[in-house]
Structure 1
Amino acid sequence: EPFSRAPPTTKDFQQTADLELCLREQGLYESNEEAVLREEVLGRLDRLVKEWVQRVCAWLGLGEFGEVETNAKIFTFGSYRLGVHGPGADIDTLCVGPRHVSRDLHFFGTEEHCLQKMLSDLPEVTELQPVVDSFVPVIKMKFSGVSIDLLYAQLATAVVPENLDVGAISTLRNADDKSVRSLNGCRVTDTLLNQVESIETFRTALRVIKLWAERRGIYSNVVGYLGGVNWAILVAYTCKLYPCGIASVIVDRFFKVFARWPWPTPIMLREIEHDAMGLQVWDPRINPRDSMHLMPIITPAYPAANSSYNVSESTLAAMKARTQLHQTCLLQEEFEHGEKVCTRILAEGGLTKWHKLLEPVPFFRNYRNYLQARLFLTPSQFIPFATCCFMHCILQEAWDGWVHSRLRQLVMRVEPFVTVRPWPKAIFPPRGPEAAGQPRRCFYFMGLKKKPLPSQPGGRASSVNLNNPVQEFKNQVMGYLSWKEGMHVLITHQMQKALPSFVL
């Protein structure tokens, strides 16, 4: 039930106008020209996948090209579908195809009937990168300069209707697991939008919260914080609690609600549906593992899942652990910080100083000790040395992406010994003329704090040796299936005063 249906005041309207002005000053809105280009690219991609399924049908011997009744269709999801994307942001897209068009045989591949091959032949498509073995397989590319992440869902129907409703549960019938996960991106996005009364209020508030989370270094579900869908669900939940609130009110109440939220009480926008198709849903009463989740934020579309299962002890310590160890959980701490800043700026007169809420966290000044992970390639018979070589760039991106995807494992391995705060973004040193011909370097950092001894609250712990957990992590990432000689990761301890100059 809503907490309040109080209508907005004159002051609320003024503070919301100030908020929208702040967002525009931050450059969060794309130009009309870029918006038109995105629409053109999506239209071109939709026509291309329709041609693709016709080509597959001809290759399978189902009829001459253009004579078979078949179809494929492009949908969008994520920040673009929510309407909160910014300039240069990628577009999450989903291609839905019929049962005879396979992901492994026809979506990926270098034969003439494969979509990957058709895309690679287009001059307007650059930086094409198929990611076949991920949890949700994807083709990444730039299409006329627009970044696209393209997923594929194979339906159990012979024809994909042009008016297909991906929100219908029947769409999931007999679909494979990867198709269900791909479809759920669209299904969650559409269901989420249907849960809020004012989409424009939701969008403005979500833009603020996403930018705040990015500036505070807590926007990334890969390393154990929260990602885009998590923040969207939390903002939508706040909108439901205050259905008459406008953007400034929603942002303020967002911090008030989640600074006090009794985790692990789950966030649910609607009741969980059970047994609609026999798929597993999040339910700690049935699945004991679900009761172990620290910060459950449940997706609103069937099958319901915990979208924040990556949250770790260090990024959100359980409340009981916080009391015992005198720790401040990072996400809870950031919610409390946001609440204090919001309360202060909304109480001031004149123009609302929203920029104060969006000030970056001084991560590289907040800790005395850091873990530094340096990723680089060295020339070998498998890795070309020339940094301008396309293959070198592809291998470097693949290696960086693999290690980044496993960083949460490093957090989990070291957090029994220290409190750890990972910085979610890769950092690349500036490259001057002297770096010409040298391999590109990629850095990740984690802030470390010693845990106080349980018997001496507030006291300093003895020295900590992280060699074993670090070596275990290195062994794990070196097990990369596509690892090649010359791929390296070097993890070292750095004092704050010894950090490289490009992060200070």
Structure 2
Amino acid sequence: MASVQQNGQRFGITEPISLGGPTELDVIKTQELEKYLQDVGLYEGKEEAVRREEVLGKLDEVVKTWIKTVTRAKGLNDQLLHEANAKIFTFGSYRLGVHGPGADIDTLCVGPRHATREGDFFGELQRMLSEMPEVTELHPVPDAHVPLMGFKLNGVSIDLLYAQLPLYVIPEDLDISQDSILQNADEQTVRSLNGCRVTDQILRLVPNIQNFRTTLRCMRFWAKRRGVYSNVSGFLGGINWALLVARICQLYPNALPNMLASRFFRVYTQWRWPNPVLLCSMDEGPSFGLQVWDPRRNPKDRLHMMPIITPAYPCMNSSYNVSASTLRIMTGEFQRGKDICEAMEANKADWDTLFEPFAFFEAYKNYLQIDITAANVDDLRKWKGWVESRLRQLTLKIERYTYDKLQCHPHPHDFQDTSRPLHCSYFMGLQRKQGVPVSEGEQFDIRRTVDEFKHTVNDYMLWIPGMEINVSHIKRRSIPSFVFPGGIRPSHASKGTWDSKRRSEHRVSSTASAATTTITNTTNEASSESKAGSNSPGDGRKRKRGDDDTLTDQLRNSKHVVVSVPVENFEGGSPNPSVGSICSSPMRDYCTNGKSDPMVKDPPESVVVFSKGPPESVPVNKIATPQAPSQETEELEDSFDFGNQVIEQISNIPAATATIPPFKATTSNGSPFSNGAVEELEVFPMGQPEVTNRASVQQRKPIIKLNFTSLGKTNGK
């Protein structure tokens, strides 16, 4: 296995891209970066750090008292009672050393075989915590994929998991990094242990922990500012960003954080997804019967768009939530970061430019608004958690039913209207996929998609009356004011930012290109029409004006709320398909039976309409009016064109019927993976699901009717 030699220790699965050390300018730029991160408040003070340590010490005392109580209650012998022990471990951002002020602490309680999860952890320990005056906001979640208890201890937020090991006694020096710790462990224990094991492994696999931490703080802050920090929304969460940064640290082991941040964007702009990001070789591990990520054996693993593999056994894809739309958005953000870092090297940009917040509500002309309400605070908390976990399904369904032509950009956070208690809203930007041919009059019908989504959400096992969800279309000018800082809508679009300048450049470029095309086409049309005794060249412009007027009249007189989704301006080109030796030599036909062309799919039904209800029943800010907007408003909307990266449409081959050829490829070092990376795989989009008639939950019907249509002619398509 190729690896990095650094102080006698090996890092990574490939040779580094560069072993070069920092220059004087790198030292200065890194100091500027560290000061910037300090100034924006990413580091906690000493007083808070001490308080966290005290809280963890108190929690350790609590679980040790708890295990003695459980052991005594179960009548075990005096020796086991004397030796009874439980131990607290930390993981996540706190263990990595990149947590900020007010961040919660991810903790794991490890207990012996006789302390059960259901009866003792969510029983006796929960009771003990509920009776402690120092504990507030106690919320047990026993049915979660990874069961946990959330609470505050002396004001510090704690997420506490439990691992029940098949041991009679938990030693104080227990090493959970050993794979043998998983032997005979139940599935929930394996998942609970995974966080600690992965975190510790990351720290072992980076050449310089301090440089890793500073770079990770930088990238986490950048991702949050750019709206791509959210695992549940289909972007990347904390562990994903940690793994991506760790790989860059391996590729540039002697670089300082300013260079690591720059190279982060350079590498991942050119990364050939779905090649996986790996920090170490993917060993089979011990024969414990645990499934590891392996697209050669597991058909579901071939569906993953952006595999980022955890380094601890069992190796898993930590980014399975990523969809085609969110991958496109993140790729576009990587390209933006790369461009800015190059501008910084030329002293044409600074850290402020890189960390400019993404103007989500200026980026698109059309949005979906998802409103949820509940009867009380506790119900809203549960309802929010459930709906948030399902929102990704709406994105996937829209992608599927429009054959990836209509793309969604989910906002990673919810918004609350202070004038409406027990209510919150989520938003998704909508745009047509760049580069897809536009057919005049083509429409997107997503009624069934939204109905399916709402039906799935309303199947919540803990649903009670009062839990409601409403999905509606809104135009950019109708975005509710409570989403803006201070509840005040900006009077004009952001100006002077990197994004606004790029949009202006692309508008000028697009206008010039369109003008050239128009002149050429007009000349050709004039020549051909004059030969045939047709109209004069000016008739083409008249026809275009006539078509525009016809479209405006249709919008004004339409019986439905029409959402036109034009092709948005596109910033930047497609990413370079290679990045040196870190993800090259893909095997494109590995999962396509040697077929390189995508399968031809029947076109979907042309229209999805959410019909407009009676005027008196239309809720405020739910539906944009069908009246034609003023010229000033249209010009304002046109100034907000925003482009993102394009993800190539791929073949749709059912995983169940795909025949996997024998895998024989090896690299120069004998690894079955090209340069330490799994071969490039064709990703199989999910097939059209069968729609079954199910009785819908009795609930007030949202009065939204929606129709997506293209402005093909007006865009010159």
Of the candidates 395, 404, 415, which is equivalent to residue 427 of structure 1?
Answer: 415
Using the TM superposition, give the Cα deviation of residue 413 of structure 1 relative to its aligned residue in structure 2, in angstroms: 1.0
For each residue in 1:210-239, what CA deviation from the matched residue of structure 2 results, as whole angstroms up to 9, or x when unmatched? Answer: 011111111111111111101000000000
Aligned to 2:139: 129
Give the letter for the 2:48 counterpart. E
Of the candidates 363, 368, 371, which is equivalent to residue 371 of structure 1?
Answer: 368
Aligned to 1:471: 451
Using the TM superposition, give the Cα deviation of residue 462 of structure 1 relative to its aligned residue in structure 2, in angstroms: 2.1
In 2, Cα distance between equivalents of 1:221 and 1:294: 14
Of the candidates 395, 399, 404, which is equivalent to residue 379 of structure 2?
Answer: 395
Of the candidates 83, 102, 115, which is equivalent to residue 88 of structure 1?
Answer: 102
In 2, Cα distance between equivalents of 1:445 and 1:169: 42
Runs of at least 5 residues in structure 1 that lack an aligned partner in the other structure: 317-328, 379-391
Aligned to 1:344: 343
Q: How many residues align?
A: 465
In 2, Cα distance between equivalents of 1:203 and 1:125: 31
Q: 3-state DSSP class of the match of 2:314?
A: coil
CA contact (8 A) 1:230 1:297 kept: yes
1:28 corresponds to 2:38? no
Aligned to 2:322: 311
Identity across the alignment (%)? 51
What does 1:2-401 align with in structure 2 at a 5 Å threshold? 2-63=16-77, 67-109=81-123, 114-276=124-286, 277-316=288-327, 329-348=328-347, 353-378=350-375, 392-401=376-385
Q: 3-state DSSP class of the match of 1:165?
A: coil
- Structure 2 CA distance for partners of 1:144 and 1:39, relative to 1, 3 Å: same
Q: Which stretch of structure 1 is more off in the superposition, 397-406 or 410-419?
A: 410-419
Q: 3-state DSSP class of the match of 1:108?
A: helix
Aligned to 1:382: none
Q: 3-state DSSP class of the match of 1:415?
A: helix
Q: 3-state DSSP class of the match of 1:86?
A: coil
For each residue in 1:386-413, what CA deviation from the matched residue of structure 2 results, as whole angstroms up to 9, or x when unmatched? Answer: xxxxxx3221111111100111111111
State TM-score, norm by structure 2: 0.63
CA contact (8 A) 2:87 2:110 kept: yes
CA contact (8 A) 2:111 2:163 kept: yes
1:450 corresponds to 2:432? yes
Q: CA RMSD in A?
A: 1.6
Give the letter for the 2:346 counterpart. A
Aligned to 1:490: 470
Give the letter for the 2:203 counterpart. L
State TM-score, norm by structure 1: 0.90
Give the letter for the 1:373 counterpart. I
In 1, Cα distance between equivalents of 2:271 and 2:136: 45
Give the letter for the 1:495 counterpart. K
In 2, Cα distance between equivalents of 1:45 and 1:377: 33
In 1, Cα distance between equivalents of 2:319 and 2:257: 25
In 1, Cα distance between equivalents of 2:49 and 2:430: 42
Using the TM superposition, give the Cα deviation of residue 288 of structure 1 relative to its aligned residue in structure 2, in angstroms: 2.2
- Structure 2 CA distance for partners of 1:158 and 1:67, relative to 1, 3 Å: closer
1:408 corresponds to 2:392? yes
CA contact (8 A) 1:191 1:301 kept: yes
For each residue in 1:130-154, what CA deviation from the matched residue of structure 2 results, as whole angstroms up to 9, or x when unmatched? Answer: 0111100010011111010000000
Of the candidates 422, 427, 441, which is equivalent to residue 440 of structure 1?
Answer: 422
Q: 3-state DSSP class of the match of 1:443?
A: strand
Using the TM superposition, give the Cα deviation of residue 460 of structure 1 relative to its aligned residue in structure 2, in angstroms: 6.5
Using the TM superposition, give the Cα deviation of residue 464 of structure 1 relative to its aligned residue in structure 2, in angstroms: 2.1
- Structure 2 CA distance for partners of 1:55 and 1:213, relative to 1, 3 Å: same
Using the TM superposition, give the Cα deviation of residue 65 of structure 1 relative to its aligned residue in structure 2, in angstroms: 11
Give the letter for the 2:182 counterpart. L
In 1, Cα distance between equivalents of 2:81 and 2:395: 55
Give the letter for the 1:471 counterpart. D
Using the TM superposition, give the Cα deviation of residue 69 of structure 1 relative to its aligned residue in structure 2, in angstroms: 1.7
CA contact (8 A) 1:90 1:149 kept: yes
In 2, Cα distance between equivalents of 1:134 and 1:245: 40
In 1, Cα distance between equivalents of 2:88 and 2:441: 56
- Structure 2 CA distance for partners of 1:453 and 1:21, relative to 1, 3 Å: closer
CA contact (8 A) 1:451 1:461 kept: no
Q: Which stretch of structure 1 is more off in the superposition, 298-307 or 459-468?
A: 459-468
Using the TM superposition, give the Cα deviation of residue 252 of structure 1 relative to its aligned residue in structure 2, in angstroms: 0.4
Give the letter for the 1:311 counterpart. V
Q: 3-state DSSP class of the match of 2:468?
A: strand
Q: 3-state DSSP class of the match of 2:368?
A: strand
Using the TM superposition, give the Cα deviation of residue 66 of structure 1 relative to its aligned residue in structure 2, in angstroms: 9.3
For each residue in 1:22-51, what CA deviation from the matched residue of structure 2 results, as whole angstroms up to 9, or x when unmatched? Answer: 001110000111000100000000010011
For each residue in 1:401-433, what CA deviation from the matched residue of structure 2 results, as whole angstroms up to 9, or x when unmatched? Answer: 11001111111111232110000111112x2xx
For each residue in 1:275-299, what CA deviation from the matched residue of structure 2 results, as whole angstroms up to 9, or x when unmatched? Answer: 4133111111221221221111000
Aligned to 2:640: none
Give the letter for the 1:207 counterpart. R
CA contact (8 A) 2:285 2:314 kept: no
In 2, Cα distance between equivalents of 1:427 and 1:209: 24
Give the letter for the 1:255 counterpart. F
* Higher Rg: 2
Using the TM superposition, give the Cα deviation of residue 463 of structure 1 relative to its aligned residue in structure 2, in angstroms: 2.7
